[in-house]
Each structure stands twice: as structure tokens, then as C-alpha cells.
Amino acid sequence: MNTKILKITENNIDEDLINEAINVIKNGGLVAFPTETVYGLGANGFDQWAAEKIFIAKGRPQDNPLILHVSSIEQVGELVREIPKVAIECIERFWPGPLTILLKKSDKIPSIITAGLDTVAIRMPEHKIALELISGSNTPIAAPSANTSGRPSPTSAKHVIEDLMGKVDIIIDGGDTGIGLESTVLDLSGETPMILRPGGVTKEDLIKIIPNIEVDFAIIKEDENIVPKSPGQKYRHYAPKSEMVVYSGDVENIVRAILEKTEEYISGGKNVGIICTDETKEFYKDGIVISMGTRKDEKTIAHNLFNILRLFDEKNVDIILSEGVDFSFLGVAIMNRMMKASGGKIIEV
């Protein structure tokens, strides 16, 4: 397949170029496009055959459900059986934005989208290119992250090109994404509201509207036996090519543990990559050291994480030793992605 790359600026969208991408969606093709979280790989959400192309292009297991992206609240009505009051409150507060809501699905949605479940995940992205693509296509767009399944999610068109060139019809280059982590997934399909995947909208944000909200067990512990209701719940995700170990706890203890392991691995002839923060970078004299950003602003860490994992792939390190962050607010989402990227190798120090 010949993949066409379209350079589109969010604040000055070229009508001819976006219409070219819209026509691909309408005709059952695949378009990779930017959102405020990560790049998505989109297809017509009502077209089973188009959705199947997503799984093929990514090498994605078909028991891993997709998220439907909408450009208006009115679109949600035909996708679900009902919209409960709490969902309306969340939509009014957080849409457009990085919050995906899980509800009971309507019969219009192909089972491949929901992995055979009776629920569907829906969100409205806060990105002008994404919204223009969805509204122009006049259909919800099914879109997981635009990467090879299991790899770090793409936060730039360069990452999408690395993984999907020759596998999709169009890649829209809309620059770097803002948040850098996928959306929060909130399950409102049952009696107990539950966060299935942490993201840019935190539990602390949601609890103001939903006092009884809970967090799914799979967020903090690997479990390959679960039936995924949401993308990112099963399987190893966001993984670099090399082994990765994350150290969690007191910052001084983290630094000490990484220094000890770095010396051990280098003595054994291994090429070591270290993911640190601005506050600790000066302590690491050996290995390839990259800072995620400052602990004073976890948004910068979230924004940089996936790009750093891909940078270490380019540097061909044998092992990545990473500092963890505090397990609160946006740090929950960061640690969740680190847990998935490392295959659950998180060491408390």
C-alpha cells in the first residue's frame, strides 16, 4: 500500500487536504490523525470491514476493543442504549477532552468494535484536525493509537511513519500531540462508576462529580487473565524493544538503586539507558541518561514518556532503568503506562 502523508496545521486546516482524508474514511480506508492525547488510527466506526483493517495494520488482538470518536454530543445517542445522568454531567464537564466513557452499546455498532461486549467506549477529542475529520466523515471514527500493537504510543507523525508506513492510506502530520498519554477510560455501564484506564482526567477530577468512583484492579497490577473492557487493560503495551525496570519509592532510594544496577550492568558489558527527572539527572554519570522533565510538573513527564521510550529504541540499549513518580493525580496514569511498558517490572525501594 502507498501511504500518503498530509501536512495539516491545526490552526489553519487546509480544506482540500482534510477532504482527501475524509473521503478515505468514507470509502472504508485508514487514516492516522493527531489528537490532544496521542495519534489515532481511524476508520468508519459503522463499517465492520474498515474496522478489521485497523486490527490488521496494527497487529492488534481482536479481543481488545476500540474507542469510537465523535465530534458532537448528538452523535452519542445513536451509539448507546441510554445516556445516564452521570454521563451527561461528565460530558458537559470534560468534553471535548481526554475522557472516554463506557456505556451500553446500541445495535448499530459492529461487534468487532466492542470485542463482542455489550458496552462501547466513546470520546470527543479536543483537537481541531480530529474534530474536522470526524464531522466531515459524518460517522463516528473507531481509532486506537496509531502504532504497531504493543509499541509505545505515537506522539508525533514520525512515530506513526515508523510503525505504519505502507499499512495505512493516509497519515496526517499535525505536529506533536499535547498530553502524550491516552485518554482516561471511565466505565459508567454498571452500578459502580469505575476508572478502567487512567489518563489526562484524573480520579481527583472525577471524584468531584462522582463521589463513589472506584479504580479497576488492572490499573495497578498486571493480569493477563482479565477480559478487557477497555483498551490497555490486557497485554503488554507501550513497550520499548529492550527490557525495562521501574523503581518506585523515595527519590533518594530510587537514585541509589539505579546507580547500583547501572554499575552492575555496565560491568557485565550491557548498554544501559536511564530515565530520570530534572531533579536527579546530575547524579547519573554513566549510561545513556534522558530526563522526562520535572517532578514539579507531571504534565511534562506525561508528554515526554512515550517519545523517550522510542529514543532508547534508536540507541539500541540492552536495558532501561527508569525512575517512577508518585502514585497520585496524573502520576497514576504515568505509572500505569510504565507498568505496562515494563511488563509489570516495578521494584519498590
Q: Flag whether pLDDT at 222 surpasses 90.
A: no
Q: Which amino acid is at 59?
A: G
Residues 322, 218 contacting (CB under 8 angstroms)? no
Pairing assessment for the beta strands 119-123 and 99-104 based on DSSP bridges: antiparallel
pLDDT of residue 220: 66
Considering the chain, tell me which residue range(s) the CATH 3.90.870.10 domain(s) occupy: 4-219
- Whether this prediction's pTM lies above 0.75 is answered by yes
243-348: what fold? Rossmann fold (3.40.50)
Question: How do residues 255-278 score in pLDDT, each as one tens digit?
Answer: 999 999 999 999 999 999 999 999
Pairing assessment for the beta strands 184-187 and 194-197 based on DSSP bridges: antiparallel
Q: Report the SS3 class of residue 320.
A: strand
Beta strands in the chain (DSSP E): 4-7, 31-33, 40-44, 67-69, 99-104, 119-123, 141-142, 170-173, 184-187, 194-197, 214-215, 243-248, 272-276, 288-291, 319-323, 346-348
Q: Flag whether pLDDT at 229 surpasses 90.
A: no
Which grid coordinates are listed for 118? 455489550
CATH number of 4-219: 3.90.870.10
Per-residue pLDDT band for 228 (boundaries 50, 70, 90) equals: low
Residue 308 CB-density burial (10 A; 0-12 exposed, 13-18 middle, 19+ buried):
buried
Residue 225 CB-density burial (10 A; 0-12 exposed, 13-18 middle, 19+ buried):
exposed
Considering the chain, tell me which residue range(s) the CATH 3.40.50.11030 domain(s) occupy: 243-348
pLDDT of residue 217: 75
If one compares 228 and 99, the residue with the highest pLDDT of the two is 99
Question: How do residues 277-311 score in pLDDT, each as one tens digit?
Answer: 999 999 999 999 999 999 999 999 999 999 999 99
Q: Flag whether pLDDT at 237 surpasses 90.
A: no
Average pLDDT, the chain: 94
Alpha-carbon distance of 154 to 157, in angstroms, equals: 7
Q: Average pLDDT in the 220-249 region?
A: 72
Q: Flag whether pLDDT at 118 surpasses 90.
A: yes
